[in-house]
């Protein structure tokens, strides 16, 4: 195993992600941020310098277990202090599991500002073969700055950020023109691109009659997506860094925080090119589809495919989405088996609420706000008054009607966390509900830091204890992100065996910002070698200063 060392500097830069000039957070002059490629078992060193003029920053390595290095998880207020402008922080962690991952800012709404990049961990042996591979990091883009979005969301009266202006693949999209104008009724002009523009699509060049692996990850702030390759079947083989039972589809859903690998054969007419498209799902689409081209060598990449881009399923065809999610199973012999029973079950009700006229999201009626002292430090060093030590509720009222807006829409702010007994098996049931408005319930992709969980099942309506009988204990897929469908529930199981403090939250950026998350802590007394630089803020920061002067 190798050490892979990087020197990174983050700064704001002018950029043109979709043909409209804007500003992004870039690392070493790149948007998206640079791709890390490593081999399983390698250790990554990132010397991360904050060149933002006036704000702190952290980087979360999404999907990496951070076993033994919970202080490197990159979650502000949980695992570390924000890195101050001008300062350098060393992230040091092992990539112990092969797969398709990404990383992103995890302070305020920095992911929305474009702070994300791919992280690919290669395996020495894999349960499938291919001749070449590509990588697409998907995101959504607003013309309004993330700063302004953040202010909008936290204002009274509430201002919603609206739908994104464009969808990006590897940071590239088109707003004022379309690659497929001739097939569209929207009246947007055909893009005239030289190919070197920042918003020119990244074209995938393939040879006929080969098999390719396409790695995709979604770092969207809001959008759930559906991906298709015109004329080509896709075989899904990996989900969130876990091999799954291969299955074949025409198109696939991908929620924010998820990653997949698919295999496709270049078995179509080699004199033609084909569309690769992404479309919004689960929200009434007001964003044009994202497009790029699959180009069969040796023909010109500029040749427009002769058929229109693939038609996505209807945005609100949830049956279709559920059918996709229900096709994902763990691959026998390649993924660890789930324990047969749990030690603790936590039910988490997802609701939209109001607190003193502000719109918030709440879990069991508590809307998460982050403390100034990172939990990792306050728990490890036994600091009092850093956060509310009373645990948030383990469940919600049996009488709660999930089909209706909350009867009492008020909730409370809280920063209490769930203390999990070390090495126990925990089931979490995520329960969706109606939002503040009638007849509406949204999609929430939940992401767990520091662990994979087994997805035991999904269901419609309110979870009842007899649903347990239908849990899939035979071949549940391991994942780090899972969707909760409108008016439905999702059950996951994990083993609390990774000493540290871990966020579990909706991966929709504005939802997390408005309180949609919880925090788990386990075995914190076992955490060793936390660098002081990780915790030099809040009450732990004061302690460190005092010790220095003694």
Q: Which of residues 431-490 bind Cu ion (CB under 5 A)?
A: 444
The nearest distance, CB 217 to ligand C2O, in angstroms, is 10
Contact call for residue 506 and Cu ion (CB under 5 A): yes
In the bound state with ligand C2O, the residue whose beta carbon lies nearer, of 257 and 313, is 257
The nearest distance, CB 131 to ligand C2O, in angstroms, is 31
Which residues neighbour 185 within 8 Å (Cβ) at sequence distance 6 or greater?
none
The nearest distance, CB 299 to Cu ion, in angstroms, is 43
In the bound state with ligand C2O, the residue whose beta carbon lies nearer, of 259 and 273, is 259
508 binds, among ligand C2O, Cu ion, none (CB under 5 to 8 A by kind): Cu ion
444 binds, among Cu ion, ligand C2O, none (CB under 5 to 8 A by kind): Cu ion
In the bound state with ligand C2O, the residue whose beta carbon lies nearer, of 106 and 360, is 106
Question: Rounded to the nearest 5 degrees, what angle is found at the Cα of 201, between the Cα atoms of 198 and 204?
Answer: 135
What's the burial of 154, exposed, middle or buried (CB within 10 Å: 0-12/13-18/19+)?
middle
Query: Is residue 278 within 8 Å of 169, Cβ to Cβ?
Result: yes
In the bound state with Cu ion, the residue whose beta carbon lies nearer, of 493 and 511, is 511
The nearest distance, CB 449 to ligand C2O, in angstroms, is 6
Q: What radius of gyration, in Å, describes the C-alpha atoms of the chain?
A: 23
What own/partner pairs with CB < 8 Å and gap ≥ 24 does 395-401 have?
Answer: 395/346, 395/347, 395/364, 396/347, 396/348, 396/349, 396/364, 396/365, 396/431, 400/349, 400/433, 400/462
Number of residues near Cu ion (by CB under 5 A): 4
The nearest distance, CB 418 to ligand C2O, in angstroms, is 16
Q: How far apart are CA 68 and CA 453, in angstroms?
A: 19
Query: Is residue 24 within 8 Å of 114, Cβ to Cβ?
Result: yes
The nearest distance, CB 101 to ligand C2O, in angstroms, is 10
Cis bond upstream, residue 486 (ω within 30): no
In the bound state with Cu ion, the residue whose beta carbon lies nearer, of 25 and 363, is 363
511 binds, among ligand C2O, Cu ion, none (CB under 5 to 8 A by kind): Cu ion
The nearest distance, CB 142 to ligand C2O, in angstroms, is 18
The nearest distance, CB 83 to Cu ion, in angstroms, is 27
Contact call for residue 514 and Cu ion (CB under 5 A): no
503 binds, among Cu ion, ligand C2O, none (CB under 5 to 8 A by kind): ligand C2O
449 binds, among Cu ion, ligand C2O, none (CB under 5 to 8 A by kind): ligand C2O
Query: Is residue 526 within 8 Å of 380, Cβ to Cβ?
Result: no
State whether residue 534 is helix, strand or coil. Answer: helix
Report the Cα 164 to chain-centroid distance in Å.
17
Cis bond upstream, residue 442 (ω within 30): no
Please measure the distance between the N-terminal and C-terminal CA atoms of the chain and give it in whole angstroms.
42
Q: Which residues make beta-bridge pairs with 351?
A: 362
Contact residues for ligand C2O, defined by CB under 6 A: 60, 62, 104, 106, 257, 447, 449, 503, 505, 507
104 binds, among ligand C2O, Cu ion, none (CB under 5 to 8 A by kind): ligand C2O
The nearest distance, CB 361 to Cu ion, in angstroms, is 7
In the bound state with Cu ion, the residue whose beta carbon lies nearer, of 66 and 434, is 434
Q: How far apart are CA 216 and CA 235, in angstroms?
A: 13
193-201, 255-263, 502-510, 525-533 -> range binding Cu ion (CB under 5 A):
502-510
- 10 Å Cβ neighbour count for 192? 7
Q: How far apart are CA 161 and CA 285, in angstroms?
A: 14
Contact call for residue 511 and Cu ion (CB under 5 A): yes
Q: How far apart are CA 155 and CA 537, in angstroms?
A: 27
The nearest distance, CB 111 to ligand C2O, in angstroms, is 7
Q: How far apart are CA 313 and CA 130, in angstroms?
A: 28
In the bound state with ligand C2O, the residue whose beta carbon lies nearer, of 104 and 281, is 104
Indicate the residue whose CB is closest to ligand C2O.
62
Structure-token pair, residue 106: 């995890």
Contact call for residue 430 and Cu ion (CB under 5 A): no
62 binds, among Cu ion, ligand C2O, none (CB under 5 to 8 A by kind): ligand C2O
43-51, 61-69, 210-218, 508-516 -> range binding Cu ion (CB under 5 A):
508-516
Query: Binding residues for Cu ion, per CB under 5 A?
Result: 444, 506, 508, 511
């Amino acid at each position: 195993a190798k050490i892979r060392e990087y020197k990174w500097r983050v700064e704001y830069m002018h950029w043109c992600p979709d043909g409209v000039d804007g500003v992004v957070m870039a690392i070493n002059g790149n948007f998206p941020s640079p791709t890390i490629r490593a081999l399983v078992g390698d250790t990554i060193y990132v010397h991360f310098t904050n060149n933002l003029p006036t704000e702190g920053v952290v980087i979360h390595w999404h999907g990496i277990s951070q076993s033994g290095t919970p202080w490197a998880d990159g979650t502000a207020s949980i695992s570390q202090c924000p890195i101050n402008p001008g300062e350098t922080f060393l992230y040091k962690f092992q990539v112990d599991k092969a797969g398709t991952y990404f990383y992103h800012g995890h302070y305020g709404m920095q992911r929305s500002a474009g702070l994300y990049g791919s992280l690919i961990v290669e395996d020495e042996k894999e349960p499938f073969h291919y001749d070449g591979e590509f990588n697409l990091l998907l995101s959504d883009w607003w013309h309004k700055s993330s700063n302004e979005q953040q202010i909008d969301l936290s204002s009274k009266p509430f201002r919603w950020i609206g739908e994104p202006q464009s969808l990006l693949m590897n940071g590239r999209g088109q707003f004022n023109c379309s690659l497929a104008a001739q097939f569209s009724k929207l009246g947007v002009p055909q893009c005239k691109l030289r190919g070197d523009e920042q918003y020119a699509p990244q074209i995938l060049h393939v040879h006929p009659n080969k098999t390719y692996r396409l790695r995709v990850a979604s770092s969207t702030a809001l959008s759930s997506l559906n991906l298709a390759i015109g004329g080509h079947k896709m075989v899904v083989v990996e989900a969130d860094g876990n091999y799954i039972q291969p299955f074949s589809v025409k198109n696939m859903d991908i929620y924010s925080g998820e990653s997949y690998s698919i295999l496709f054969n270049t078995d179509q007419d080699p004199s033609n090119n084909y569309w690769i498209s992404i479309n919004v799902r689960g929200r009434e689409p007001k964003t044009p589809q994202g497009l790029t081209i699959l180009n069969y060598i040796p023909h010109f990449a500029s040749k427009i495919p002769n058929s229109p881009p693939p038609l996505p399923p209807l945005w609100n065809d949830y049956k279709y989405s559920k059918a996709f999610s229900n096709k994902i199973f763990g691959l026998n012999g390649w993924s660890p088996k789930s324990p047969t029973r749990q030690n603790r079950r936590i039910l988490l009700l997802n609701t939209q609420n109001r607190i003193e006229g502000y719109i918030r999201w709440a879990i069991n009626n508590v809307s998460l706000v982050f403390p100034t002292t990172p939990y990792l430090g306050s728990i490890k060093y036994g600091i009092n008054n850093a956060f509310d030590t009373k645990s948030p509720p383990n469940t919600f009222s049996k009488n709660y009607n999930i089909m209706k807006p909350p009867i009492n829409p008020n909730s409370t702010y809280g920063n209490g966390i769930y203390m999990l007994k070390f090495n126990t098996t925990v089931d979490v049931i995520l329960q969706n509900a109606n939002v503040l408005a009638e007849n509406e319930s949204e999609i929430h992709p939940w992401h767990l830091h520091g662990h994979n969980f087994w997805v035991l099942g999904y269901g419609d309506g309110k979870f009842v204890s007899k649903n347990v009988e239908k849990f899939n204990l035979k071949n549940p897929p391991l994942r780090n992100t899972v969707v909760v469908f409108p008016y439905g529930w999702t059950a996951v199981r994990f083993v609390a065996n990774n000493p540290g403090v871990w966020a579990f939250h909706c991966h929709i950026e504005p939802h997390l910002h408005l309180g949609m998350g919880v925090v788990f802590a386990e075995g914190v007394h076992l955490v060793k070698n936390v660098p002081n630089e990780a915790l030099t803020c809040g009450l732990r920061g004061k302690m460190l200063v005092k010790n220095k002067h003694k």
